[in-house]
Structure 1
Amino acid sequence: MSDPQSSLQRYPLLATPHVRLQGPVDHAMYQNFRDQLLGAAPEGPLVVAISTLGGDPEVARLMADELRLLREATGREALFLGKVAVYSAGATFMSGFPVDKRFLTRGTRLMLHERQMQSSIELAGPLRALPAVLKAKLAEIEQSIAIEEEGFRAIVAGSQVDFEELRRRAPYNWYIEADEARALGLVLDVI
């Protein structure tokens, strides 16, 4: 285990994130993210810190895409700092950063799992119309699986974890402590 003090000395920018997010990943977090992003200094590396038990994975993907566009348009470096808990949609957000731009604070846990769905299908009406209802729900499920797999590939890209291992462990809520995440190459360092 590396000395957290020396890690922070190597990455002093991480001590004062430009964008600080906490709580559920939802539209309120997205608005807070946008407001802080607009208020951040326009130059130099941008540090985004998050602590979350999860939320809406599509909002997480949206925030990550905002940062991707910023990086591609300006060449600005963006660093991820996970604090305390980076669960579910928080890990989806983390997947938008390359492994060498990801950091966790000591004691932080990642939690990776499959996307969840709760849904009911109402079958009512003419029999010939009912297959379309079922096909639409099946298409939604298939697209959600494809998006999940894209995210899983992004989380493990550049690490020692392969896609199949993540798929195997995801149904059981895979909790990963910060030092283990570093050893697996999912993050660059722990501070």
Structure 2
Amino acid sequence: MAGRSPSVASLSQYPKLAYPHIRLNGPVDLAMYNSFRSVMNNPPADEIVIALTTLGGDPEVARVMGEDIRLFGEQTGNNALFLGKVAVYSAGATFMSYFRRENRFLTHGTRILIHERQLHKTVELGGPLRACADQLRATLNEIEESIRIEEEGFANLIVQSNIPIEDVRQKAPHNWYLDAEEAMRLGLVLDVI
């Protein structure tokens, strides 16, 4: 195939990836979750293959889908294989983090985007001073808990990789893009097809 990198594996090495059971495309949102659940309610008897292309979305929906994958593995003893295609951005990388490294694959030319969670919020203070202080504390608690969740996600993503958590912390604030071959070289995925 023209333009294919010599490091790209042949699909014949991983024939199950050619026919994903679940194909997820678009924003990671409740509509994607409902599509995902429609197949997960009746999963195949053995390994399940999930293909994903996304420019991002809701990280909490990605976490719920990831927990479903974790529970599927624990309940059935079967593997769930992840195939990232073209773009695995933001919440897509969060979802990918729930798959073991040896079950993660990307198609040639796919890009992963890792970045920090974001918050866009206006805090309007009004009323008694103690109530104002409580409003500020509630927002600070929300930010601090989101940072903890983000750290857990980053740690899950890089398990078994060659990436130290300090590198993620340094690069994520500036939108860290990795192409498929770099992701494989760094140990984020098993192979590129």
TM-score bucket (shorter structure): over 0.9
Instruction: Give 1:2 shift.
Output: 4.2
Segments of 5+ residues of structure 1 without an aligned counterpart are none
* Structure 2 CA distance for aligned equivalents of residues 175 and 88 of structure 1: 10
Contact 2:102 2:190 in 1 (8 A): yes
Which residue of the partner structure matches residue 180 of structure 1?
Answer: 182
Q: Which of 140, 146, 151 pairs up with 1:138?
A: 140
* Structure 1 CA distance for aligned equivalents of residues 81 and 130 of structure 2: 53
Instruction: Give 1:39 shift.
Output: 4.2
Q: Which of 61, 64, 69 pairs up with 1:62?
A: 64
AA in 2 matched with 1:69: L
What SS class does the counterpart of residue 112 from structure 2 fall into?
strand
Contact 1:84 1:108 in 2 (8 A): yes
Which residue of the partner structure matches residue 114 of structure 2?
Answer: 112
AA in 2 matched with 1:118: H
- Runs of 4+ in structure 1 deviating by more than 4 angstroms, as ranges, are none
* Structure 2 CA distance for aligned equivalents of residues 56 and 151 of structure 1: 14
* TM-score, length of structure 1 as denominator length: 0.96
* Structure 1 CA distance for aligned equivalents of residues 110 and 39 of structure 2: 23
Instruction: Give 1:40 shift.
Output: 3.8
* Structure 2 CA distance for aligned equivalents of residues 152 and 53 of structure 1: 18
Which residue of the partner structure matches residue 37 of structure 1?
Answer: 40
AA in 2 matched with 1:20: R
* Structure 1 CA distance for aligned equivalents of residues 161 and 7 of structure 2: 22
Cα deviation digits, residues 46-99 of structure 1 (max 9, x gap): 101100000000000000000100100110110000000000000000000111
AA in 2 matched with 1:83: K
Which residue of the partner structure matches residue 81 of structure 2?
Answer: 79
Instruction: Give 1:128 shift.
Output: 2.0
Contact 1:47 1:80 in 2 (8 A): yes
Which residue of the partner structure matches residue 15 of structure 2?
Answer: 12
Instruction: Give 1:119 shift.
Output: 0.2
* Structure 2 CA distance for aligned equivalents of residues 70 and 129 of structure 1: 44
AA in 2 matched with 1:190: V
* Structure 2 CA distance for aligned equivalents of residues 188 and 157 of structure 1: 12
* Structure 2 CA distance for aligned equivalents of residues 153 and 7 of structure 1: 30
Contact 1:7 1:189 in 2 (8 A): no
Q: How many pairs does the alignment contain? A: 189
RMSD of aligned C-alpha atoms? 1.1
* Structure 1 CA distance for aligned equivalents of residues 130 and 184 of structure 2: 54
Q: Which of 25, 28, 48 pairs up with 1:25?
A: 28
What SS class does the counterpart of residue 41 from structure 2 fall into?
helix
* Structure 2 CA distance for aligned equivalents of residues 67 and 76 of structure 1: 10
What SS class does the counterpart of residue 187 from structure 2 fall into?
coil
* Structure 1 CA distance for aligned equivalents of residues 34 and 188 of structure 2: 28
